């Protein structure tokens, strides 16, 4: 149990205050609200940390910059009902999230997002995937010819994954594999044509931008979820997005959603925490000494605490001024950790236009809109849902366009003239353009696992880190929860 007797750490605070520039801060120091631990960020990892620390008897304050909690768990009200534009899929292996849903009385339901068959648009032609091996556009060699052109990057990533256990990606024995997909393919002797194709389905940011170790972490965890669900490796016929296996094991299908939207979960967590969660509190500065810290928001409010936990993605933490003992290692990670993007256009399809043009409903392209997912409405006819899913380089490029939505719609019409007039925009979300996220998920560039990937989660003076980017073995929402368990142990042990 945490002992608060020696907690007022005034000497530390005066020290910290003295380090800070500007006359405004002195006022902030005097007015600072006191807590044992200040938690920055009200996404799943911040809220879960607060709940656990509260249970241990710590006085906590959660500072969330947005007008509501949830972060990358975001449910919109749309003309078509509730829509999750952030996390939604909950696998059978999501022990922590499932447990939290049970605790807060939230119901799970099998995901209803089965994808219709895929085609591939390549070099401005529709490719018949069944005859790809004999297609003159197929310049790959030997066995490569049989690999689906829209799955090359994923197929290579999966084939060479050396990780058996979930945390193997951090094992120094694999240090030589902290390389890009392109480097791996060159090493393994793939043809230039196969390397070119892999660019369209490279997991992560792109085939030069993301370390294989980072990609294999995600892949190994995905395989574990499939094992827990008793499923063999899926024989994929489409890129990205799992096929839901609706067979219930212990009441769960392989992919589940929270009834009413995923954001019900952070809402329930915040309701349990009560008024320690402060909204519209964007942190601008963390001033540390060895004994404590003062956290200042851009509205001038200040909070003093023995410990600070940052759950901010590093894309956001790098905008926060941090003063204290120099820590070049942490600074390097905060400054240079790359963030991937995803942008999605959610559509309703008034009539299944694929019946008119005879092409597969869904498709992947080598062009600027990435993937179009036609979603089965299970009745065969009538109104369907659809999504344009942009990831990696495609998503990075779309973020640069002010006219993203009209551009994507016009590109869809160009590729599928039969869709003209039949697509209605329900929502659009570009995570790189979200001012409180600036990306959808962390990445590690080739060489960065070796440079800082193994150690950057260690505390910097009294500043501790959680959040999905500090995962060791899990992924998605589970990694946010995993990270909060670790950080709470760190703080509790240190507090004595
Ligand atoms: C499009 C998309 C789809 C996804 N799909 C899935 C899925 O199906 N299944 C799955 O398991 N996972 C999925 N994920 C991943 C999952 O959403 C994340 O791993 C998880 O929600 C991250 O939680 P977090 O607490 O680490 O970070 P966040 O949710 O990012 O929380 C950080 C919080 O910090 C706040 N903040 C930022 N700057 C400041 C500041 N200066 N001061 C104070 N607060 C600040 C933000 O507003 C945010 O609330 C998806 C993510 C995205 C983007």
Give residue-wise pLDDT tens across range 39-50: 999 999 999 999
pLDDT above 70 covers what percent of the chain? 91
Tell whether residue 148 is among the known ligand binding residues: no
Tell whether residue 492 is among the known ligand binding residues: no
Q: Which atom of ligand 1 is nearest to the CA of 466?
A: 26
Ligand 1: which of 266, 312, 474 to mutate, judged by most atoms within 8 Å of the beta carbon? 312
Which residues partner with 430 through β-bridges? Answer: 343
What's the confidence (pLDDT) of residue 234? Answer: 57
What's the confidence (pLDDT) of residue 236? Answer: 65
Tell whether residue 427 is among the known ligand binding residues: no
Residues 445, 451: Cα–Cα separation, whole Å: 10
pLDDT per residue as tens digits for the range 215-254:
999 999 988 887 876 666 556 667 776 677 777 777 888 8
CB 204, CB 210: distance < 8 Å: yes
Residues 116, 360: Cα–Cα separation, whole Å: 8
CA-nearest residue, atom 35 of ligand 1: 41
pLDDT at 270 over 50: yes
pLDDT level of residue 17 (50, 70, 90 thresholds): very low
Query: Which of 23-32, 322-331, 357-366 shows the lowest mean pLDDT across its residues?
Result: 23-32
Ligand 1: which of 391, 465, 476 to mutate, judged by most atoms within 8 Å of the beta carbon? 476
Residues 80, 215: Cα–Cα separation, whole Å: 34
Encode 150-187: b = buried (16+ Cβ within 10 Å), e = exposed: bbbbbbbbbeebebeebebbbeeebeebbbbbbbbbee
Taking residues 142-146, report their average pLDDT.
95
Tokens of 102: 């049970």
pLDDT at 345 over 90: yes
Query: What is the ipTM metric for this complex?
Result: 1.00
Residues 241, 414: Cα–Cα separation, whole Å: 25
Residues 109, 255: Cα–Cα separation, whole Å: 9
């Amino acid at each position: 149990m945490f002992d608060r007797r020696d907690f007022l750490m005034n000497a530390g605070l005066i020290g910290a205050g003295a380090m800070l520039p500007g006359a405004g801060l002195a006022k902030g120091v005097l007015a600072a609200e006191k807590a044992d631990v200040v938690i920055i960020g009200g996404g799943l990892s911040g809220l879960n940390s607060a709940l656990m620390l509260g249970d241990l008897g710590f006085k906590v304050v959660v500072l969330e910059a947005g007008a509501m909690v949830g972060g990358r768990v975001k449910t919109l009200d749309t003309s078509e009902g509730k829509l999750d534009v952030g996390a939604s899929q909950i696998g059978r292996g999501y022990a922590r999230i499932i447990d939290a849903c049970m605790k807060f009385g939230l119901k799970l339901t099998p995901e209803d997002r089965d994808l219709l068959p895929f085609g591939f648009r390549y070099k401005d032609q529709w490719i018949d995937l069944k005859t790809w091996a004999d297609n003159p556009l197929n310049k790959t060699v030997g066995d490569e010819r049989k690999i689906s052109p829209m799955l090359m990057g994923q197929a290579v990533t999966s084939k060479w994954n050396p990780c058996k256990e979930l945390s193997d990606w951090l094992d120094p024995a694999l240090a030589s594999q902290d390389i890009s997909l392109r480097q791996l393919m060159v090493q393994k002797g793939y043809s230039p044509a196969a390397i070119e194709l892999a660019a369209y389905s490279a997991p992560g940011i792109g085939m030069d931008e993301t370390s294989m170790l980072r990609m294999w972490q995600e892949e190994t965890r995905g395989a574990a979820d499939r094992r827990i669900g008793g499923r063999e490796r899926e024989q994929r016929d489409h890129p990205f997005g799992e096929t839901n296996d609706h067979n219930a094991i212990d009441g769960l299908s392989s992919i589940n959603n929270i009834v009413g939207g995923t954001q019900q979960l952070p809402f329930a967590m915040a309701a349990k925490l009560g008024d320690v969660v402060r909204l519209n509190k964007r942190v601008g500065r963390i001033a540390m000494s060895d004994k404590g810290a003062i956290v200042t928001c851009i509205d001038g409010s200040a909070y003093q605490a023995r410990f600070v936990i940052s759950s901010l993605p590093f894309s956001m933490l790098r905008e926060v001024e941090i003063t204290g003992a120099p820590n070049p290692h942490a600074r390097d990670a905060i400054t240079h950790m790359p963030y991937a993007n995803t942008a999605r256009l959610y559509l309703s399809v008034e009539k299944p236009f694929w019946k008119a043009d005879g092409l597969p409903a869904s498709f992947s392209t080598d062009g600027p809109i990435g993937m179009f997912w036609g979603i089965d409405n299970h009745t065969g006819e009538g109104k369907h849902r659809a999504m344009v899913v942009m990831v990696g380089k495609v998503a990075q490029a779309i973020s640069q366009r002010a006219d993203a939505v009209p551009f994507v719609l016009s590109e869809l019409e160009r590729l599928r003239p039969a869709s003209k007039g039949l697509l209605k925009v329900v929502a659009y979300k570009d995570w790189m353009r979200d001012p409180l996220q600036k990306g959808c998920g962390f990445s590690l560039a080739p060489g960065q696992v070796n440079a800082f990937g193994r150690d950057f989660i260690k505390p910097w003076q009294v500043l501790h880190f959680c959040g999905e980017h500090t995962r060791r073995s899990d992924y998605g929402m589970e990694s946010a929860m995993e990270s909060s368990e670790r950080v709470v142990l760190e703080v509790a042990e240190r507090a004595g």
